[in-house]
A and B are shown apart, each in its own frame.
Chain A
Amino acid sequence: MLYDLIKPHSSVSTVGMCKNAGKTTVLNRLIADCAAAGETIGLTSIGRDGERSDVVTGTKKPEIYVFDGTIIATAEEALPLGDISREILETTGMPTPMGEVAVVRAKSDGFIQLAGPSMTAQLRILKAKMAGFGAERVFIDGALSRKSLAMPAVSDAAILSTGASYSRDIEKTVRDTAHAAALMLLPKTERADLSRRTAAKFTVLTDSDAFGCETAADAADRIRSEKAKLLIIRGGVTDANLEALFSAGKALSGLEAVAEDGSRILVSEKNYSKFLRAGAAFTVLESTKLLAVTVNPFSAYGAHYDKERFLDAVRRAIPGEVPVLDVMKEESYA
């Protein structure tokens, strides 16, 4: 099932709402499926500051199981934490807290530890390097943070994993997962000419004019005075930005707010909903494809959810075209 979903995409990110959401299980499933299909794959991760102490002290057991021939880009000091037999292909000069990123080829099956670079530009270079060494498809193990949700700059498609470890409150987990999915599903703006026209943090566009604004409050004034229906926001969109925009009041109705991509929208679910209720909508310059949402009803902290109820609730909260899968049913190899 998962393999069919990823098949058309040359690069796929796995993203988790929290630890133990089942992200690694998903990745292992995909690795095994690709191996069964005879594909050579490449693997790396978006830096992993959040897990750094675990990884550095080695208390975290490596969990990703790869097959002979896999191309892996990971930090020098993460190599001895795995147990594959390997061939060193390249050292990249990209720094991480665990040393420089090296590209290696697995010469046996076995476990690896991924610790890739944190900059998207570097990930893009790594993808190309891995392809150069024969990787037909690249998987990027995303970090456990909202910041890396669906980075279109890095991968064409993404799989979002959520689970009971996120919160004891099932409603909260479902709501926040749906919000994350909604951001990843934002449509690409139809105004294809936009990206060239925006240098300012906020640009308010009317049919005839473009107004660059440095603050959200200035943008709100412009939207009101010009009755503008289009706003472009460069970089991150914060709660403070939205709260300032709310001062435009009724003028927000019908407004299209264009963010660079879904990962830049860092607003709370509450403010996001309020923005939509005001009649405004977000679009993005670059979109990613959310292939599936996986759910894990087991909590690492003991407060498990009811399997059927959780699966059902997430299915109802996520738009119908995105499959929602029980991660445990998609059993992994390792």
Chain B
Amino acid sequence: MLEARQLADIGFDYVLAGLEPWSPFGEELRRRLKPYGKAERAALLGEFRNISVIAEAFSADPSSFGPLARALMQLKDIRRSLQRSRETTLSDIELFEIKRFLILAGSLDEAYSALPFAGELYGIRIFALPEALDILDPDGMRAQTFRLPDGASLLLSEIRKSRKAVDLALRALPQTAENGAERDRLMAERTNLAAKEENEELRLRGEMTRAFSVYADEAETLIESIGKLDLAAAKARLMLTLGGTVPEILPEGGEKRIEFIDMVNPETDAAIKERGRRFTPVSIALEPGSAVITGANMGGKSVAVKTLALNALLAVCGMPVFAKSAALPLLPDIRLLSEDLEDSRGGLSSFGGEMVSFDRILTAAEERPGSLVLLDEFARGTNPHEGSALVRGAVRYFNEKDDTYALITTHFDDVACLARVHYQVMGLRNTDEAALKAALSSPEAGKAPQELLARFMDYGLFRAGSEVNPPRDALKICRALRIREDFMNKVTE
């Protein structure tokens, strides 16, 4: 799978940071989010169904989620105390927290039952534990506080009564020198009663803990469900906020394709929105074998690859994807090789590092049939002659592997002809040359030529014929970037 720094780079961390579960249990699942394995297909499908159903209800009436949110936000993580209830006597603080949890479980059950999808969610069962609560709240007051009631035992009520009497006697005793001895006697008695009360409470808490521990398993099961429900609801809200959808996971042994229509990368989108532009949605359809993207420099090839990596990973992690529609198999692995991420590790040059990583990817792809392999500007760090040979080799290699989806971006000529699918970035292809020239000679262009160029660049992809070679846009772009005139004259001399 993708490495940690790649997760940040493709915008995965950004999406995850946008998930805002309401409870500590949902938050923990968010932190531990990972791809679903082959054996978890049913759970993944169930998760997507949950997200859809919750999103539908949420968009219809967000306020109906208020009681659920309030109950979830008040939850504290009591799992350590649940575990301890099986082994030892819980403190009054722990019993307090479990009691609060059980009261909240009641509110949660009520809030959940009122929602239209209650009982329909996959793998989620929300329930109250009234019998367990009765143990921690023997007088049935359901107060949000905890104290062993006087009536918990005859001994306890007697100790507390005596203690009260001593407290009152101490308070009533005038603070004079001759009362010193009496005062000392009462203080000693007070200390003695405090110790007795503590012992009796310890005994009673022991009984209470043992009686409760029978329900610890059920409480843990409930917590698991609460976490799942909370996270699925957070995913649904994120999907509605950022405009995503639930992908279709293709059946095992069925159709073999990866197809995303109008994909967006939310992090890149947010960044360019700040500069007053919009992310151009990208559509890509892959079949097993090699696909190639060619196109202008600065035209968004890398962004397209990272956007695909992001959305494919989101899909296998049970997250909504940011596209109009998406269909893909349950990918067992996703690998991304991009030179800007291969900072010369272990003393290798960037080219050397890239090749070593590439070799590992080949092995991984062989071990996990059905993987997605993304190579961004593969072999660009070496001479064009051999670089081109390497890329052509990669295209042919993956073409022969009918069980790998490979997407390769390149500048090199004579590569696309070998690929099963060829995409090209629009780039400056449809740009009105005169308008670009006029804009570039305007005074504002001098300040930020990249921004100006970006406005003329079309970041969309189109499906090109296999005979089409990469466009020759490099010099045009240099001029747009206002590279020194005297140098450019030398280039074209």
State the A residues within 8 Å of B (CB): 67-68, 76, 79, 83-91, 93, 102, 105, 107-110, 331, 333
Say yes or no: B160 contacts A83, CB within 8 Å.
no
Q: Report the interface size for chain B: residues with CB under 8 A from the other chain.
A: 23
Task: State in angstroms the CA–CA spacing of A107 and B148 once bound together.
Answer: 11
Say yes or no: B194 contacts A85, CB within 8 Å.
yes
> How far apart are A133's CB and chain B's nearest CB, in angstroms?
9
Say yes or no: B145 contacts A333, CB within 8 Å.
no
Task: State in angstroms the CA–CA spacing of A85 and B162 once bound together.
Answer: 13
Residues of B within 8 A of A108 (CB): 160, 163-164, 167, 194
The list of the 9 closest CB pairs from A to B, nearest first, reads A87-B147, A88-B96, A83-B194, A109-B167, A88-B146, A89-B145, A87-B145, A76-B93, A108-B163
CB interface residues, B 130-148, toward A, < 8 Å: 145-147
With an 8 A cutoff between CB atoms, is B34 at the interface? no
Task: State in angstroms the CA–CA spacing of A100 and B93 once bound together.
Answer: 10
> How far apart are A86's CB and chain B's nearest CB, in angstroms?
7
Residues of A within 8 A of B191 (CB): 83
Say yes or no: B145 contacts A91, CB within 8 Å.
no
CB interface residues, B 87-107, toward A, < 8 Å: 91-93, 95-97
State which of B93, B163, B170 has its C-beta within 8 Å of the C-beta of A85.
B163
CB interface residues, B 152-200, toward A, < 8 Å: 160, 163-164, 167, 170-171, 175, 190-191, 194-195, 197-198
Task: State in angstroms the CA–CA spacing of A67 and B170 once bound together.
Answer: 11
With an 8 A cutoff between CB atoms, is B455 at the interface? no
Residues of B within 8 A of A109 (CB): 167, 170-171, 190
Report the tally of A-B residue pairs with Cβ distances under 8 A: 52
11 additional A-B pairs beyond A91-B96, A107-B160, beta carbons within 8 Å, are A67-B171, A84-B194, A87-B147, A88-B96, A88-B145, A91-B76, A102-B93, A105-B145, A109-B167, A110-B194, A333-B175
Task: State in angstroms the CA–CA spacing of A90 and B143 once bound together.
Answer: 12
> How far apart are B155's CB and chain A's nearest CB, in angstroms?
14
Can you list 7 contacts pairing A with B, beta carbon distance less than 8 Å?
A83-B198, A85-B197, A87-B147, A88-B96, A88-B145, A91-B97, A331-B175
The chain A residue sitting closest to B100, CB to CB, is A91
Residues of B within 8 A of A93 (CB): 76
Task: State in angstroms the CA–CA spacing of A89 and B175 once bound together.
Answer: 33
Task: State in angstroms the CA–CA spacing of A93 and B97 once bound together.
Answer: 11
Say yes or no: A79 contacts B160, CB within 8 Å.
no
> How far apart are B400's CB and chain A's nearest CB, in angstroms?
58
The chain A residue sitting closest to B150, CB to CB, is A107
Say yes or no: B190 contacts A88, CB within 8 Å.
no
Task: State in angstroms the CA–CA spacing of A87 and B92 once bound together.
Answer: 9
Residues of B within 8 A of A76 (CB): 91, 93
Say yes or no: B167 contacts A68, CB within 8 Å.
yes
> How far apart are B366's CB and chain A's nearest CB, in angstroms?
49
The chain A residue sitting closest to B198, CB to CB, is A83
> How far apart are A209's CB and chain B's nearest CB, in angstroms?
30
The chain B residue sitting closest to A82, CB to CB, is B194
Residues of A within 8 A of B163 (CB): 85, 108
The chain B residue sitting closest to A133, CB to CB, is B145
> How far apart are A230's CB and chain B's nearest CB, in angstroms?
38
> How far apart are B359's CB and chain A's nearest CB, in angstroms?
47
Task: State in angstroms the CA–CA spacing of A68 and B190 once bound together.
Answer: 13
Residues of B within 8 A of A89 (CB): 145
Residues of A within 8 A of B147 (CB): 86-88, 107
State which of B93, B146, B164, B170 has its C-beta within 8 Å of the C-beta of A79.
B93
The chain B residue sitting closest to A110, CB to CB, is B194
